[in-house]
Amino acid sequence: MSPLNAHARIETEGQKVKILKPENFQLSEEFNIGIIGAGKMADVHITAYKYMQNVKVIAICDIIERKAQSLAEKWGIIESFTNYENLLEVKDIDIVDVCTPTHTHAPIACDALSHGYNVLLEKPMALSVAECDAIIKESRKHKVSLCVNHHALFYSSIRKAKSLLDSGFYDLQSMRVSHKGSRKDETRIFCC
């Protein structure tokens, strides 16, 4: 199993993490994770990694030193950095998980890929098609995996919207799906 396909088994709801079929989820080899960005999403990702066998977060980076150190202390992460280029020098990392603001995704992902790392990239992938193309080009050039974390694709509301589109019954110009309230079931679909 590709290490990045494993992440598709995770659904997040705010700070809570549900692992789907954890009794069937085992990796045959160990994977070390380096996380760039120490905000809310990094904490959610680390929580998910803690449920996975043979997965260990060994390094974290954030431009705000106290944020990186805080998550490192909370989760027992060995190394913390303020410059992601230092994290990319850690040789034991198998996957770089990018949890930074969108405008930083392209340069960070391209650098990680060019260092030969598999990359899990938080959504959205980048700010433009050109940036997305550059990231994909680096992945192919260095023959490493790239996975964009689109966990919302598995929400029932998103699947319902997709089935409406696929039905061919509607001649839609646009569709917007929004989640209201705290439950993912409370969904409004607006069609034009």
Provide the pLDDT for residue 2: 38
What tokens does 70 get?
């805080």
Q: What is the mean pLDDT of the chain?
A: 80
Residue 8 has pLDDT above 60, yes or no: no
Residues 165, 168: Cα–Cα separation, whole Å: 6
Whole-number pLDDT of residue 22: 43
Q: What is the mean pLDDT of residues 15-27?
A: 45
So what's the pLDDT on residue 97? 97
Task: Give the Cα separation of 59 and 8 in Å (integer).
Answer: 22
Does the pLDDT at position 60 exceed 80? yes
pLDDT at 16: 40
As a whole-number percent, the residues of the chain with pLDDT over 90 amount to 54
> Which of 60, 156, 69, 56 lies closest to 99 in space, CA to CA?
60
Residue 19, token pair as written in the block: 């692992």
Q: What is the pLDDT of residues 129-187, one digit of tens each?
A: 999 999 999 999 999 999 998 777 777 777 777 787 788 877 777 666 665 555 544 44
Nearest in space to 147 (alpha carbons), one of 1, 22, 26, 2:
2
